[in-house]
């Protein structure tokens, strides 16, 4: 009996030793914090924590790269942490609580929903500036919001889609997670613009920002509305799924998304998807860290900072793909 217990303990110890090794190697910016934890800026470097709502998409990896690049460029004692997936809204709360223990000088956070406001309020109470990136929250405590204006991005995407169609044409919309602000803003932007341009929306259903779900939902929409002329999807992952369904039915419809993920860019450059509006998560996180330093220096920053977005078509998709791949180190 004792033997099995030793096994268990031994394995736990080994796992931890390995992990400890991993984390120190993998997070260089982190390792120098050991010497100065407790005392605020032991070596004068400002301590900035960047926390993201997820790590299971390329989008988040780009933001991670942006944050780490900024840590390096501005000589920051930075910490980067991310929750596993954005649907787990409590994990990011736990991470934020844990980071508060380390008493960073400033926090750059990509939240998932308003559920994180109470914990962000605790940063506020401790006098730590909080800068939101990518996802805006209706919360007075934030120092700024840096990101894409999703409503405008939706409108831009709609304009591009409409330019490929003629007045009176019918389209379908694949929505993301219902209730998520990013989704509502994008879809509203698209709907308003399309109405203005005289394009009819015959179906609008949610596929939870998920590529696989998008295939099924799109297939069903095509069965019910075989005559549609185009598709808008609230992100690129669903765009790729929708394209799959469209091509599976032997159709050739323009599919337009938002985000600018690498597989979408590749698809666009090969004549698959008809276009996307690319966001710049790298720039969001980079600007987040840069502006956090400005706040710490007592500088005044804008309440809303646009991280930029642009229309990607077959003409510029390859170029954008190269740029993103370089950032991802591919």
**Identified binder of other proteins from the candidate list 57, 69, 113, 262, rule CB under 8 A:** 113
235 SS3 class: coil
**Identified binder of other proteins from the candidate list 94, 166, 225, 270, rule CB under 8 A:** 94
**Identified binder of other proteins from the candidate list 43, 73, 75, 90, rule CB under 8 A:** 90
Shortest distance (Å) from residue 43 CB to other proteins: 17
**Identified binder of other proteins from the candidate list 41, 84, 166, 225, rule CB under 8 A:** 84
**Identified binder of other proteins from the candidate list 41, 178, 223, 270, rule CB under 8 A:** 178
81 in contact with other proteins (CB under 8 A) = yes
Neighbours of 200 (CB within 10 A): 13
Write the binding mask 51 to 80 for other proteins: x where contact by CB under 8 A, - elsewhere: ----xx----------------------xx
Tokens of 23: 């984390």
152 in contact with other proteins (CB under 8 A) = no
Whole-angstrom distance, CA of residue 7 vs CA of residue 25: 27
Tokens of 108: 């750059």
312 SS3 class: strand
Buried b (16+ CB within 10 A) or exposed e, 39-68: eeeeeebbbbbbbbbbbebbbbbbbbbbbb
Whole-angstrom distance, CA of residue 74 vs CA of residue 64: 15
In the bound state with other proteins, the residue whose beta carbon lies nearer, of 114 and 192, is: 114
Nearest to 307, CA basis, from 131, 135, 110, 146: 146
**Identified binder of other proteins from the candidate list 69, 74, 88, 327, rule CB under 8 A:** 88
Total residues belonging to the chain: 330
Shortest distance (Å) from residue 200 CB to other proteins: 24
By CB under 8 A, name the binding residues for other proteins.
Answer: 1, 3-5, 7-9, 11-13, 15-16, 19-20, 22-23, 26-27, 30, 37-38, 55-56, 79-84, 87-91, 93-95, 97-102, 113-119, 177-179
């Amino acid at each position: 009996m004792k033997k099995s217990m030793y096994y268990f303990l031994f394995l736990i110890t080994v796992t931890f030793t390995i992990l400890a090794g991993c984390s120190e190697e993998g997070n260089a910016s982190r390792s120098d914090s050991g010497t100065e934890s407790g005392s605020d800026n032991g070596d004068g470097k400002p301590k900035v924590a960047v926390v993201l709502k997820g790590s299971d998409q390329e989008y988040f990896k780009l933001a991670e790269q942006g944050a780490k690049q900024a840590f390096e460029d501005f000589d920051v004692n930075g910490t980067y942490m991310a929750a596993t997936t954005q649907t787990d809204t409590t994990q990011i709360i736990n991470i934020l609580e844990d980071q508060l223990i380390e008493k960073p000088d400033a926090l750059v956070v990509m939240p998932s929903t308003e559920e994180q406001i109470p914990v962000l309020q605790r940063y506020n109470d401790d006098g730590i500036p909080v800068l939101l990136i990518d996802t805006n929250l209706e919360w007075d405590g934030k120092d700024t919001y840096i990101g894409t204006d999703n409503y405008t991005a939706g409108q831009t995407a709609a304009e591009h889609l409409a330019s490929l169609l003629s007045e009176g044409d019918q389209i379908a919309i694949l929505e993301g997670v219902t209730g998520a602000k990013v989704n509502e803003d994008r879809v509203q932007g698209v709907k308003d613009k399309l109405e203005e341009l005289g394009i009819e929306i015959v179906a609008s259903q949610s596929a939870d920002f998920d590529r696989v779900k998008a295939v099924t939902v799109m297939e069903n929409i095509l069965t019910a509305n075989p005559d549609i002329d185009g598709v808008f999807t609230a992100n690129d992952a669903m765009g790729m799924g929708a394209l799959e369904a469209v091509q599976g039915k032997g159709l050739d419809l323009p599919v337009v998304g938002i985000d600018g993920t690498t597989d979408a860019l590749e698809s666009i450059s090969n004549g698959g998807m008809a276009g996307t509006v690319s966001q710049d998560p790298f720039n969001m996180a980079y600007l987040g860290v840069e502006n956090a330093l400005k706040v710490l220096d007592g500088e005044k920053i804008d309440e809303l900072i646009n991280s930029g977005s642009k229309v990607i078509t077959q003409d510029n998709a390859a170029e954008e793909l190269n740029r993103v791949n370089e950032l991802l180190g591919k």
